[in-house]
């Protein structure tokens, strides 16, 4: 949580100037345009060609020790959809990705103010774990996975929707021989699908879990090991 608190006291433009990625004049120009358009400063500076998305993401991740996550290649938990209003995610350029107990993982593409962090934690009743992503990827995920059209029969309020899940079909009764052939074909198709599944997604998920443990639980693990060693001694 300490890193999040430090983040809310910083400004992206100042960090980019400190890293010699933009000049004071470019920052002033970007801030003036931000007043008129309401866009994120980082997005404006990227559009003007003063920095690239990797510069912005790397600066935030390095400054606050947040892990980087390519959210476009990460599986978003179905229950994340409907957690926040679309307008809120678009305005502040962040997406929720998954929940680990009482900890909610979000990917940001810019710095969030303290009041926004507090509102997110209050709304979700969770502690926030921050990951850093690129503006274009965060917006792509919002557009493709959160802004999709709702189903014909919307679920009850608060119920998440997995827009990627195929509709459930009513099975047709078949003869035993035909049923056996169908099951074999389905098994073969499942094996093929498993082999062709994107390795990037699996690798990213493993990396996310490792980073999560590293950034949230390493102190507890160390204390546990020390206690064990004391008992043995």
Q: Select the more confidently predicted residue: 174 or 206.
A: 206
Backbone angles phi, psi at 131, to 5 degrees: -125, 155
Looking at residue 163, its pLDDT comes to 32
Q: Select the more confidently predicted residue: 118 or 219.
A: 118
- Region of 40 (left: φ > 0; alpha: ψ -120 to 50; beta: rest) is beta
Looking at residue 159, its pLDDT comes to 40
Looking at residue 182, its pLDDT comes to 47
Q: Select the more confidently predicted residue: 3 or 147.
A: 147
**Half-sphere exposure of 185 toward its Cβ, with a 13 Å CA cutoff?**
6
| Predicted confidence (pLDDT) per residue in 117-170, tens digit | 999 999 999 999 999 999 999 999 999 999 864 543 444 444 443 333 333 333
Taking 50 as the threshold, does the pLDDT of residue 195 lie above it? no
| Predicted confidence (pLDDT) per residue in 33-80, tens digit | 999 988 888 889 999 999 999 999 999 999 988 999 999 999 998 999
Looking at residue 194, its pLDDT comes to 44
| Predicted confidence (pLDDT) per residue in 199-213, tens digit | 455 565 555 555 554
Task: Evaluate whether 151 touches 161 at the Cβ level (below 8 Å).
Answer: yes
Looking at residue 147, its pLDDT comes to 86
Cα 15–19–21 angle (5° rounding)?
Answer: 100
Task: Evaluate whether 135 touches 53 at the Cβ level (below 8 Å).
Answer: yes
Biggest CA pair distance of the chain: 76
Q: Is the dihedral of CA 140, 141, 145, 147 positive or negative?
A: negative
The full set of domains in the chain, from first to last, is 2-146 (3.30.300.160)
Q: Is 70 helix (H, G, I), strand (E, B) or coil?
A: coil
Which tokens is 151 given? Answer: 């189903």
Looking at residue 38, its pLDDT comes to 84
Looking at residue 201, its pLDDT comes to 52
Looking at residue 205, its pLDDT comes to 55
Looking at residue 5, its pLDDT comes to 67
Looking at residue 8, its pLDDT comes to 67
- Going by C-alpha positions, the residue among 115, 130, 124 that lies closest to residue 60 is 130
pTM assigned to the model? 0.61
């Amino acid at each position: 949580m300490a890193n999040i608190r430090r983040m809310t006291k910083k400004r992206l433009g100042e960090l980019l100037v400190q890293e010699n990625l933009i000049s004071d004049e470019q920052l002033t120009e970007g801030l003036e345009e931000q007043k008129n358009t309401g866009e994120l400063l980082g997005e404006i500076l990227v559009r003007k060609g003063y920095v690239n998305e990797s510069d912005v993401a790397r600066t935030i991740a390095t400054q606050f020790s947040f892990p980087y996550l390519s959210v476009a290649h990460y599986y978003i938990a179905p229950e994340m959809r409907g957690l926040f209003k679309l307008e809120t995610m678009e305005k502040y350029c962040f997406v929720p990705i998954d929940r680990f107990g009482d900890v909610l993982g979000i990917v940001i593409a810019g710095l969030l103010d303290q009041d926004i962090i507090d509102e997110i934690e209050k709304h979700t009743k969770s502690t926030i774990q921050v990951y850093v992503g690129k503006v274009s990827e965060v917006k792509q995920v919002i557009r493709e996975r959160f802004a999709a059209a709702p189903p014909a029969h919307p679920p009850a309020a608060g119920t998440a929707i997995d827009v990627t899940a195929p509709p459930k079909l009513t099975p047709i009764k078949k003869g035993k021989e035909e049923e056996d052939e169908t099951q074999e074909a389905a098994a073969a198709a499942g094996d093929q699908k498993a082999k062709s599944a994107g390795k990037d997604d699996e690798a990213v998920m493993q990396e996310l879990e490792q980073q999560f443990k590293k950034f949230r639980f390493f102190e507890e693990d160390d204390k546990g090991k020390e206690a064990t060693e004391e008992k043995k001694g």
